[in-house]
Amino acid sequence: MSEQAKEPRGDKGKGPVHVAIIMDGNGRWAQARGKPRLFGHHAGAKRVREIVEACPEIGVKYLTIFAFSTENWKRTQAEVSGLMGLFRRYIKKEAQDLRDRGVRVRFIGDRVKLDDKLVDLMDELELMTAGNDRVHLTIALNYGGRDEVARAAKRLAYDVAQGAVQPKDVDEETLPRYLDTYVLPDPDLVIRTSGEARISNFLLWQSAYAEYEFIDTLWPDFTDKIFTRIVGNYAGRTRSYGAVTR
């Protein structure tokens, strides 16, 4: 993955291999319909299935979605517990189907603060889909980019203290091995729905060379058609990684 950042190349004509999505706008979508925010999150969960299904058809091998951030605990207790319940139900309901459709599921983020039942379901789903390779779905749950880098630095510091790593050997190649995403390629394209042009602490290290697409559509209205169009647009862009390619 860090090879990618080091080797300047243009990707013109190629689609993104790894797409990351900040799924925003569920609350506004529900409010516009006079419904509670959780209604929007339920509608959002349905979209996840549609977008995962579209991936193999358009050549997206890795999809990473931002489901719950380290900052989302600041929401009302009712919304937080509603979301946690939704994640549990989603995993129980979709597990079989994800496995049968060749989806390998991984979770990133700090599991320590999550309830044990949810963590058990996450572990189980990772295990039961571990042999799949058609699409790699990564769900960021209690995830924050700075938190991830800090946790990585802590683990690296332990290895240094134990003599397993020499301080002089710590470089751009070393640190990502301690990130939650160590087995994934860096994202090529990051999409954020709902009109906000921020990255909100998502994949900070990994997105150094990503293209960004900010679109006004609220997440529950984000169809596979819109997804396909955005992925298609990406192929027309040139990525230079700092070099001159034209």
Residues marked active site are found at: 24, 72
- The reply to whether 27 sits near ligand FPP by the rule CB under 6 A is yes
Nearer to ligand FPP, 67 or 230 (CB): 67
Nearer to ligand FPP, 49 or 237 (CB): 49
Cα-based angle 208, 213, 217 (whole degrees, multiple of 5): 145
Least CB distance to ligand FPP at residue 26 (A): 4
- The reply to whether 239 sits near ligand FPP by the rule CB under 6 A is no
Count how many Cα atoms sit within 13 Å of the Cα of residue 89 in the half-sphere of its side chain.
10
Identity of residue 10 = G
When binding is defined by CB under 6 A, the residue of 39, 62, 90, 222 that contacts ligand FPP is 90
The structure tokens listed for 50 are: 């549609």
- Short-list 107, 61, 102, 94, CA closest to 231: 61
Buried b (16+ CB within 10 A) or exposed e, 62-87: bbbbbbbbbebeeeeeebeebbbebb
Nearer to ligand FPP, 142 or 194 (CB): 194
When binding is defined by CB under 6 A, the residue of 39, 107, 178, 219 that contacts ligand FPP is 219
Least CB distance to ligand FPP at residue 139 (A): 5
Piece of 82-90, 97-105, 114-122, 203-211 that binds ligand FPP (CB under 6 A) = 82-90
- The reply to whether 25 sits near ligand FPP by the rule CB under 6 A is yes
What's the gap between Cα 134 and its chain centre? 17
Give CA–CA dist 146/96, Å, rounded: 33
The structure tokens listed for 141 are: 């749950």
Binding mask 154-193 for ligand FPP (x = CB under 6 A): ----------------------------------------
Burial of 205 (0-12, 13-18, 19+ CB in 10 A): middle
Count how many Cα atoms sit within 13 Å of the Cα of residue 139 in the half-sphere of its side chain.
22
Subset of 47-76 contacting ligand FPP (CB under 6 A): 48, 67, 72
Residues that bind ligand FPP (CB under 6 A): 23-28, 37, 41, 44-45, 48, 67, 72, 86-87, 90, 139, 194, 219
